[in-house]
């Protein structure tokens, strides 16, 4: 961006910023003539789309700050008034996690809603994302705002929006809200109603404990087996907001041998014991693993900071703890619920980057199966679309540790899923096996699928340009082989086409910047930019055939070696297309 134009944009922002801290940040950048710092903050802005907004805390339109939150809320409020005639009666649920500035952002959201004549239904304490999603439906509100950055590093925060159907926003609402935000006046001109005045006018209402109680009752009812088998469980909240409700729900379910990681049990936006508060990241589970060995735990459970995700570790045949992948846990939950619950026309849903094993499992167990784009908003909305057909949604998952059981929340729910995983592990223990033993049973019956993911973080505008270049290069020159496997079809979800040889057909899913390569034998590779982080993601899945009587460790080792070779070859091809 031209330096003069860049400085003019920064100075204009500075003139209308409402926060002394971010004003000081911009002033310092201008004084130092830090063009790189200014460009990173002002050359572009956070895109309102997947899960609303998410970004690093700081000044400028490309950061999460009070000015962005004020303008976003004004745009959301005005869009709601245009689209939901009774929004002034129903109100908007507002909840927050324990991240830095979450409380300040929540106050700004509520005060802008009140100024727009929309009641803000506010959780007075910190709360998890699934509770926010549940409250929206329970209170019949018009929408909900969850202030959270989920599993991102400590320097992030975000703003997630739910529509009145209980699910995260999808087109056309995301685009409509974005356009409404663009039309909002400067941040210092956005009207706010002080909390005291809003309360007096009944436009700021605290959500009472009865909503939390209703949520707990609903998730406790999700467990099919409802026994404990003296299961020993270690749990970490990862310094997030899941600890209170997970501990309470486990106690009410009867799991008396429940051991939380005390150093990570209370919310702390600094995340002092982990560099990256995501259970999948290296080192994040170290304290939980150590406690599990001390307590001789059968199962380890972990939430991310807003408790919408769930990770699990279980014992293998030799008694060693191993983390289940998101796909493995999703397949187990799908199988367990289909085998335990007898409902007519059961439906399971996953995403195009999650394991195709759920499809094979559903076919073998008489269930309907659907795939959606990446992101739980698509799963929840697709389940709603299929309600009139009589199909009963019992489970949905995405490989990034997101699971929901039934319709308690129209989003991923790491608390409700934790209860069902504990129930599943207890049923396994009662018959002398573990979750990993159960996984082998499922894979012998429905096929062995192994998967892995490679992510490359490329921050800033320069990183975004590289990611765009790589995606465009793959579109311009599609691979014909990946290692020893032939590419049999190419799915381009942005062009909405599937090409197999010389034949081309349309894809029904909405446009998305995703490429998927179908390989011989049911294997596949998928490439996409992240919608919430500065990353490009590569997903690899290999389907392997077991020979009669073959030991599972041998088959898994062979499949893993083939999967590693697939990854190595494809990433080499990605580097020839611009990947650093």
Half-sphere exposure of 458 (CA within 13 A, CB side): 20
The β-bridge relationship of strands 233-236 and 299-303 is parallel
Cα 449 vs. chain centroid, distance in angstroms?
23
Pairwise CA distance, residues 479 & 488, whole Å = 10
Residues with Cβ within 8 Å of residue 192, at least 6 apart in sequence: 70, 108, 111, 112, 114, 115
Count of Cβ atoms closer than 10 Å to residue 3 Cβ: 11
DSSP state of 142: S
CB 485 within 8 A of CB 517: no
Per 3-state DSSP, what percentage of the chain is helix, strand, and coil (rounded to 5)? 40, 20, 35
Residue 126 CA, chain-centre distance (Å), reads 19
Could you count the other beta carbons within 10 Å of the beta carbon of residue 421?
27
- Which position among 12, 102, 150, 505 bears the catalytic label? 150
What CA–CA distance (Å, rounded) separates 79 from 41? 27
Q: Which of 224, 216, 221, 226 is nearest to 249 (CA)?
A: 216
Of 305, 311, 343, 333, the closest CA to residue 324 belongs to: 311
* Phi and psi angles of residue 157, each rounded to the nearest 5 degrees, phi first: -150, 175
Regarding beta strands 204-206 and 120-122, do their DSSP bridges make them parallel or antiparallel, or are they unpaired?
parallel
Is 58 buried (19+), middle (13-18) or exposed (0-12) by CB count in 10 A?
A: middle
Residues 528-551 as b or e (16 or more Cβ within 10 Å = b): bbebbbbbbbbbbbbbbebeeeee
CB-CB neighbours of 471 under 10 Å: 20
Q: For residues 108 and 122, give the distance between their C-alpha atoms in angstroms, rounded to a whole number.
A: 12
Q: How many CB atoms lie within 10 A of CB 401?
A: 27
**363, 414, 87, 120: CA torsion to nearest 10:** 180
105/21 Cα distance (integer angstroms): 14
Give every strand in the sheet of 310-315, ordered side by side: 258-260, 233-236, 299-303, 310-315, 321-323
Neighbour count for residue 500 (Cβ, 10 Å):
13
Q: Give the count of alpha carbons within 13 A of 19, CB side only.
A: 20
Q: What tokens does 201 get?
A: 């006018």
Residue 249 annotated to the active site: no
Closest residue by Cα to residue 55 from 126, 163, 160: 160
Whether residue 322 contacts residue 330, with contact meaning beta carbons closer than 8 Å, is answered with no
Closest CA to 437 of 445, 447, 428, 450: 428
439 and 447 Cβ atoms separated by less than 8 Å? no
Q: Which residues are catalytic?
A: 150
């Amino acid at each position: 961006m031209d330096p003069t134009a860049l400085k003019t944009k920064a100075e204009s922002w500075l003139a209308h910023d409402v926060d002394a801290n971010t004003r000081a940040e911009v002033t310092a950048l201008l004084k130092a003539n830090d063009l790189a710092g200014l460009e990173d903050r002002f050359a572009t802005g956070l895109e309102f789309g997947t899960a609303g907004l998410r970004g690093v805390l700081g000044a400028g339109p490309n950061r999460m700050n009070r000015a962005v939150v004020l303008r976003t809320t004004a745009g959301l409020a005005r869009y709601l008034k245009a689209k939901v005639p009774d929004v002034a009666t129903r109100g908007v649920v507002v909840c927050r996690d324990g991240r830095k500035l979450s409380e300040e952002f929540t106050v700004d959201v509520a005060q802008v809603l009140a100024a727009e004549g929309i009641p803000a239904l506010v959780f007075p304490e910190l709360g998890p994302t699934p509770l926010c999603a549940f409250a929206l439906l329970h209170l019949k509100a018009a929408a909900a705002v969850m202030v959270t950055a989920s599993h991102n590093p400590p320097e992030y925060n975000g703003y997630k929006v739910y529509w009145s159907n209980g699910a995260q926003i999808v087109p056309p609402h995301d685009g409509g809200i974005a356009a409404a935000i663009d039309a909002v006046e400067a941040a210092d001109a956005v009207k706010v109603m002080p909390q005291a005045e809003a309360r007096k006018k009944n436009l700021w209402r605290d959500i009472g404990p009865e909503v939390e109680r209703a949520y707990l009752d609903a998730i406790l009812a999700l467990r099919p087996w409802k026994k404990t088998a003296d299961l020993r469980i270690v749990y970490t909240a990862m310094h997030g907001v899941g600890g209170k409700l997970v501990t309470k729900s486990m106690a009410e379910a009867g799991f008396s041998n429940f051991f939380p990681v005390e150093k990570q049990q209370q919310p702390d936006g600094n995340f002092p014991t982990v560099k990256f508060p995501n259970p999948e990241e290296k080192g994040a589970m170290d304290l939980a693993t150590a406690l599990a060995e001390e307590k001789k735990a059968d199962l380890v459970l972990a939430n991310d900071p807003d408790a919408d995700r769930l990770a699990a570790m279980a014992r293998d045949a030799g008694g060693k703890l191993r983390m289940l992948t998101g796909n493995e846990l999703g397949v187990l939950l799908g199988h367990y619920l289909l085998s335990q619950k007898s409902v007519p026309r059961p439906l399971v849903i996953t995403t195009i980057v999650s394991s195709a094993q759920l499809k094979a499992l559903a076919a073998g167990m008489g269930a309907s199966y659907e795939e959606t784009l990446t992101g739980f908003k698509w799963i929840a909305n697709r389940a709603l679309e299929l309600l009139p057909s009589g199909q009963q949604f019992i489970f949905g998952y995405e490989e990034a540790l997101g699971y929901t059981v039934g319709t308690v929340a129209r989003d991923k729910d790491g608390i409700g899923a934790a209860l069902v995983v504990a129930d599943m592990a207890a049923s396994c223990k009662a018959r002398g096996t573990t979750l990993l033993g159960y996984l082998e049973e499922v894979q012998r019956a429905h096929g062995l699928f192994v998967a892995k993911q490679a992510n490359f973080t490329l921050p800033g505008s320069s990183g975004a340009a590289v990611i765009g270049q790589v995606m465009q290069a793959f579109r311009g020159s599609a691979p014909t082989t990946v290692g020893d496997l032939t590419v049999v079809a190419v799915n381009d979800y942005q062009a909405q086409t599937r090409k197999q040889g010389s034949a081309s057909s349309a894809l029904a899913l909405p446009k998305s910047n995703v490429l998927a390569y179908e390989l011989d034998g049911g294997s596949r590779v998928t490439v996409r930019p992240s919608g919430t982080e500065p990353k490009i993601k590569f997903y690899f899945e290999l389907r392997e055939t077991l020979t009669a009587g073959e030991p599972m460790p041998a088959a898994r080792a062979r499949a893993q070696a083939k999967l590693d070779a697939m990854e190595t070859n494809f990433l080499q091809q990605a580097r020839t297309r611009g990947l650093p």
